[in-house]
Amino acid sequence: MTELKKQRLFIHDHLNSRELSEIYLSEIRTAGQLFILTELPKEKNEYQAIIDQITSEIGNYFESNCEKDSETLLEEILQELNNLLPELAPQKNKNWFQKIDLVVGIIADSSIYLAGIGQIEALLISHNQFTKILENSAEINPAKIFTDIIAGQLDSGDILIISTNALFDYISREKIRLITQKYTPQTAVDQIQKLLETVPDFVTFNSLFIKNPGNHDIELVQTKTEDDSNDYSILEKTPQERPRIQQQRTENIKKKQKEKVKTKLVFDKNGLQNIKSIQKLILALNLAKIYFSIIHQIFAKIFSYLKSGYLFIFSSRYRRQSEDSLLEKTKETVHKKVNWFSYLTWKKKILIIALLVVILIFLQGLVFLTQKKAANKQELSYQQNIQSINNTLNEVEASLIYNDEKRAEELLLNIQKMLDTLNAQSQEQETEIAEVKEQTARLINKIRHINYVSDPLELFDLNALNNSQQIVQKEGSFYLLDQDALYLLKDNAVEKISDFPNGQTLADWPKQNKLILSDDQKYYIFNLDNQKIESFEFTKNSGNTKVQDMAIYSNNLYVLDDANSQIFKYPERGSSFSNGSSWLKEEIDLKQAYSLAIDGDLYLTLDNGEIKKLRKGKLETFSYQQPHPVIGQKAIIKTFAESELLYLIDPDNQRVIIFDKEGKIKDQYTSPKFDSLVDLAIDSEEKAIYLLSGNHLYLLAIN
């Protein structure tokens, strides 16, 4: 198997460089040869110690590890780095590793295994084509800094270049391709270094060239010509000749360096300034000069004030002259300040006017540029957020591949929070945000095993009604109660059939052509045959003070009174109901109860998300399957005696849940249109659900 050839290109001025940089190559062992390329901006003193510690600890870990499989060993090294890097964070800079450029890899025979973070590039040159095999990471996850390993083999003549961006800023990729394909890695690096001789010393080059040798690789070595200048000649590439040529090259360089050393004695007077004692003497003389200058100025001022004071006291002439001079100066100053523009020449006036015009134009341009810069900043922030969201969506897809639904849901909920903070600056951005929200909602519901219905069928638009309350479906017709009246919905028409102020609840009376209504005072029967409302009088149980919900089963009226934690039963009496009684046989806290349904057993929903089952006035064990997310407040439950299912709407989560009566979830549905769910009705054949959401009635096919 052919051994890969590698050569480092490392040009770094420790004093002038703007970066802290390091390249490390280990000794070759069974698992291969470790290489590390690291670079950080020269911002903090701790960064150099961090680079040294990374190189030291990972190098020692590689040397002491007995693992023989290169890829497995690299995985262990990356895990070690995932634990090490957060611990190296300087104080008040927990995300410092967002600035680090780091590539770690192992060379084993003709195979290479590597992983990286930051802006270091890895380019493969094969068959005259460039392939970028290491993606630049714009944002690093602190919980798992290294995620993927790139692995592959180099064919004959293939070159892999791992380098910081500086190399490609000064030499084109095409030039690098031509050099590396023609020469061996060592000679290619020599040629590239020649091209970089004029680059400023603050630029750092940190690169590693790895090549699978070809049959026509050229190696150049330095030879001495007759005119004592350096030249390069092409030599045969046999292994026996190369050591001798390299030795000769080294000896020639050393000999030439000795010949060039020429010195002479020179006295540099400026060099005296570097002597500390002379520096202190010069500093003392300068301070003394400043001191005596200040003393001179103080005494001169004092003498001037004393002289002026003496003359002002003892000389009337001096006082008159001082007063006249002061008045004249004041008058002249005021006149000049008031009429300064009129004293100017016409050229100066034109210049001032032109200057004012230029300043106004400049200020207007500055405002425009500031606005444009702010818009660009907002656009950049938007693009970065969208890119971050897309990256997170890719993580979601990866989590779903590995069946990690919990992680995928966490990521999607984070995406929803990010989307809520985005401010669209254009119609295109609004459309894009809406599409991402739609995609996110679909994925969340997919993870939660909820069917997503983007556009349910709307049967009736009820915007003309006043705050729809409850709905009943009876023999193909819909009856709807709002705060003012009772309506019939039939044949695509909405018809008011009776006024009913302060409407609270509406229930069907099965096997009777009647409905039961209530307001905040009484119960009423609505006769569908003559379409009249009849109030029925009976003595309320003394504890029944409120109607939260009601239902009829076996011609008995059951009323939920959450204020008194009680359910009251009113038996049928002719065409009405007789006096009520407390139905519960044990004390149960129903203060959070919101809705009831009855089929022989009685089911309650509570505002804390619970579903309770009662039989003959006593609490029964009901181990229902807990949906995810949990049921929110104001959930409404419906069923009937012939049904084997429980139907529940969950307004907080815009969701419909169908349970069997053992408590197992049969199906779940959601839609962006279910944003104001208030009630539901069930088709008698249980093939559809009718959902009242705000002032819209939707049909949801379930079978």
Q: Is the pLDDT of residue 224 over 50?
A: no
**pLDDT tens digits, residue range 521-553?**
778 889 888 888 877 665 566 678 888 899 999
In the predicted model, what is the mean pLDDT of residues 152-177?
91
Of 16-25, 35-44, 138-147, 671-680, the range with the lowest mean pLDDT is 138-147
Q: Which two tokens stand for residue 520?
A: 């905040």
- Amino acid 514 reads K
Average pLDDT, the chain: 84
Q: Is the pLDDT of residue 238 over 50?
A: no
Q: Which two tokens stand for residue 317?
A: 């002439």
- pLDDT score recorded for residue 630: 92
Task: Kindly give, in sequence order, each residue whose CB lies less than 8 Å from that of residue 701, ignoring residues fewer than 6 positions away.
Answer: 457, 687, 688
**pLDDT tens digits, residue range 1-13?**
568 899 999 999 8
- pLDDT score recorded for residue 454: 85
- pLDDT score recorded for residue 233: 39
396-422 burial, b if ≥16 CB within 10 A, otherwise e?
Answer: beebeeeeebebbbebbebbeebbeeb
Q: How far apart are CA 451 and CA 620, in angstroms?
A: 31
Residue 136 to residues 392, 399, 695: CA-CA distances in angstroms?
16, 21, 51
Q: Is the pLDDT of residue 126 over 70?
A: yes
Measured from the Cβ of residue 667, the count of other Cβ atoms closer than 10 Å reads: 14
- pLDDT score recorded for residue 449: 82
**Could you tell me the pLDDT band of residue 260, with boundaries at 50, 70 and 90?**
very low
Tell me how many degrees the CA angle 34-39-40 measures, rounded to the nearest 5: 145
Percent with pLDDT over 90 in the chain: 32
Residue 208 to residues 41, 104, 293, 539: CA-CA distances in angstroms?
20, 12, 63, 94
Q: How far apart are CA 126 and CA 157, in angstroms?
A: 7
Q: Is the pLDDT of residue 338 over 80?
A: no
Q: How far apart are CA 696 and CA 456, in angstroms?
A: 11
Q: How far apart are CA 230 and CA 252, in angstroms?
A: 10
Q: Is the pLDDT of residue 408 over 70?
A: yes
Q: Is the pLDDT of residue 430 over 80?
A: yes
Q: Which residue has the tokens 């009913």?
A: 500
- pLDDT score recorded for residue 273: 55
Listed in order, strand segments (DSSP E) in 175-322 are 205-211, 220-224, 230-234
CB 137 within 8 A of CB 62: no
CB 471 within 8 A of CB 679: yes
- pLDDT score recorded for residue 588: 92
**Could you tell me the pLDDT band of residue 406, with boundaries at 50, 70 and 90?**
confident
**pLDDT tens digits, residue range 144-158?**
788 788 998 988 889
- pLDDT score recorded for residue 272: 55
- pLDDT score recorded for residue 341: 75
Quote helix, strand, coil % in the chain, to nearest 5.
Answer: 35, 30, 35
For the entire predicted model, the pTM comes to 0.47
- pLDDT score recorded for residue 243: 55
Angle of helix 185-195 versus helix 173-182 axis, rounded to 10: 140
- More confident position, 575 or 59: 59
For 548, counting Cβ atoms within 10 Å of its Cβ (0-12 exposed, 13-18 middle, 19+ buried), the class is middle
**pLDDT tens digits, residue range 340-371?**
777 778 888 888 899 999 999 999 888 988 88
**Could you tell me the pLDDT band of residue 475, with boundaries at 50, 70 and 90?**
confident
